[in-house]
């Protein structure tokens, strides 16, 4: 598990330092300030590969550096080499499963059982790796698995060998297996994950249930998995964007774990008991009803993979409903909330003490999102003018009480709590 991460002259700021929580790390902040970038660097520190473009130094930087420390005391520091246009050395790769769900629908997996080359097993755990593939075997293991959205559905090959059948084939194959077989257990696990990740498992019609496989196309002989939506069975490939994202997450979590267990069996090793999960924009494509369930549900699904599973999750969000949903399970002893801000034209990263704000509108005006009011801009301006008038000051936009009153009527709901203050002011003859 990652304990600290420090960036110097890399990314959006001259310096960023994170002291991470053992279980959950939530990052909020405006667009373009570095949340996704930090997830990319965390992935690199744990896997030794980049899921997208490598981190790049700031203009004018002299000694760009990325350093980190694991909770077992191991760690590394890497400097950007301008001559080679790359980082000085690969990180010490984690002895844990690492899964990364990116905002563009792609997915990355680092599995020590399948991505460490045989030569790596000759070194003590925690020692530094000098080459991705130091062994001389005929089959080299990929440094990590990087899936685009199509590969999640259709499968992935490496050096002519199938490393993942894909959601379409695996789902149908698992569904047809007997419950006591490996495939049958994987399908049961998938169904349990889908139920946990459903928008409203308590309401039967809003639970994601597997339907019967169906043939769809003349020129594609595959059967396609379906989901029972309550109004009929819909092929997974025709499901909504939000539904496909959650189904893909559930499939990849189950697939990654079951393949890791099988690979560990073949290697005569015990499966890993630690997993690091990264997800960018966890609320992506999801209705607010779903947003208030997804983060706690993901934690439950990951922790249920094995009885002794230890999970560290890093997620980014722009949704106040996601933070409201974490109030019952957030533990300040092992969880942390970080906010990216722009201060004096410089990106600043700060840890925010956890507090419960209740409903989503109060989270919008909390330090996590820092809005002045959870309203439209026009309503905020009208209230600002009305408040100035009540203080005996000159409104910025409206000149008279009548103009302020008209602006309030144009922007506020009839039941808005601000009306009580305004009407009392008017009845007292305020001008």
- The pTM is what? 0.89
Q: Residue 94's pLDDT is what? A: 76
Looking at residues 66-85, what average pLDDT do you find?
89
Looking at residues 303-324, what average pLDDT do you find?
96
Looking at residues 64-70, what average pLDDT do you find?
93
Q: Residue 132's pLDDT is what? A: 36
Looking at residues 237-259, what average pLDDT do you find?
96
**Residue 135 in this model has a pLDDT that exceeds 90:** no
**Residue 128 in this model has a pLDDT that exceeds 60:** no
Percent of the chain whose predicted confidence (pLDDT) is above 90: 73
**Residue 151 in this model has a pLDDT that exceeds 70:** yes
Q: Residue 120's pLDDT is what? A: 56
Q: What backbone torsions phi and psi does residue 195 show, to the nearest 5 degrees?
A: -65, -45
Residue 49, exposed/middle/buried by CB under 10 A (0-12, 13-18, 19+)?
buried
Which residues, 6+ apart, have CB-to-CB distance to 77 below 8 Å? 65, 66, 67
Residue 340, exposed/middle/buried by CB under 10 A (0-12, 13-18, 19+)?
buried
Q: Residue 397's pLDDT is what? A: 82
pLDDT digits (tens, 9 = 90+) for 165-191: 999 999 999 999 999 999 999 999 999
**Residue 109 in this model has a pLDDT that exceeds 70:** yes
Domain 2-364 has CATH 3.40.50.300: yes
Looking at residues 89-94, what average pLDDT do you find?
73
Q: How far apart are CA 337 and CA 350, in angstroms?
A: 9
Q: How far apart are CA 297 and CA 276, in angstroms?
A: 16
Q: Residue 134's pLDDT is what? A: 40
Q: Residue 204's pLDDT is what? A: 61
**Residue 290 in this model has a pLDDT that exceeds 80:** yes
pLDDT digits (tens, 9 = 90+) for 341-376: 988 888 999 999 999 998 899 999 999 998 998 899
Query: What's the gap between Cα 283 and its chain centre?
Result: 8
Span(s) in the chain for CATH 3.40.50.300: 2-364
For residue 247, name the pLDDT band (cuts at 50, 70, 90).
very high
Q: Residue 130's pLDDT is what? A: 38
Q: Residue 136's pLDDT is what? A: 44
pLDDT digits (tens, 9 = 90+) for 377-426: 999 999 999 999 999 888 888 778 899 999 999 999 999 999 999 999 99
Q: How far apart are CA 175 and CA 185, in angstroms?
A: 9
Host H or E run for residue 6: strand 2-10
For residue 118, name the pLDDT band (cuts at 50, 70, 90).
low
Q: Residue 104's pLDDT is what? A: 94
For residue 206, name the pLDDT band (cuts at 50, 70, 90).
confident
Q: Residue 282's pLDDT is what? A: 96
Q: Residue 133's pLDDT is what? A: 39
Q: Residue 141's pLDDT is what? A: 82
More reliable by pLDDT, 40 or 135? 40
């Amino acid at each position: 598990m990652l304990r600290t991460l420090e960036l110097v002259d890399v990314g959006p700021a001259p310096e960023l330092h994170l002291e991470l929580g053992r279980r959950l790390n939530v990052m909020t902040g405006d667009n373009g300030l570095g949340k996704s970038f930090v997830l990319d660097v965390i992935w690199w520190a744990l896997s030794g590969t980049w899921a997208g473009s490598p981190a790049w130094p700031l203009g004018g930087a002299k000694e760009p550096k990325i350093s980190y420390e694991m909770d077992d005391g191991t760690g590394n520091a890497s400097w950007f080499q301008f001559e080679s246009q790359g980082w000085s050395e690969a990180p010490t790769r984690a002895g844990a499963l690492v899964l990364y769900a990116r905002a563009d629908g792609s997915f990355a997996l680092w599995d020590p059982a399948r991505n460490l080359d045989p030569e790596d097993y000759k070194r003590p755990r925690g020692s530094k790796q000098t080459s991705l593939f130091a062994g001389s075997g005929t089959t080299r293991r990929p440094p990590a698995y990087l899936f685009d959205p199509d590969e999640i559905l259709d499968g992935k090959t490496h050096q002519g060998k199938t490393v993942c059948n894909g959601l379409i084939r695996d789902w149908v194959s698992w569904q047809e297996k007997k419950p006591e077989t490996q495939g049958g257990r994987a399908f049961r696990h998938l169904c349990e994950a889908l139920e946990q990740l459903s928008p409203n498992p308590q309401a039967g019609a809003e639970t994601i249930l597997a339907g019967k496989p169906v043939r769809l196309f003349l020129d594609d002989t595959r059967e396609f998995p379906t989901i029972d939506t309550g109004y009929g069975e819909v092929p997974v490939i025709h499901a909504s964007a939000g539904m496909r994202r959650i189904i893909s997450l559930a499939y990849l979590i189950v697939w990654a774990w079951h393949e890791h267990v099988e690979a560990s069996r073949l290697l005569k090793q015990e499966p890993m008991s630690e997993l690091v999960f990264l997800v960018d924009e966890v609320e992506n494509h999801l209705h607010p009803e779903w947003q208030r369930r997804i983060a706690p549900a993901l934690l439950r699904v990951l922790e249920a993979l094995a009885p002794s599973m230890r999970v560290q999750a890093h997620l980014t969000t722009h949704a106040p409903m996601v933070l409201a949903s974490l109030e019952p399970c957030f533990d300040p002893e092992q969880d942390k909330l970080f906010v990216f801000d722009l201060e004096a034209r410089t990106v600043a990263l700060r840890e925010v003490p956890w507090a419960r704000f209740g409903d989503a509108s109060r989270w919008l005006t909390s330090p996590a999102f820092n809005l002045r009011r959870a309203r439209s801009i026009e309503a905020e301006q009208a209230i600002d003018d009305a408040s100035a008038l009540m203080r005996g000051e000159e409104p910025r936009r409206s000149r008279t009480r009548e103009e302020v009153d008209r602006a309030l009527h144009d922007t506020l709901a009839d039941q808005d709590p601000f009306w009580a203050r305004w009407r009392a002011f008017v009845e007292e003859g305020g001008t």
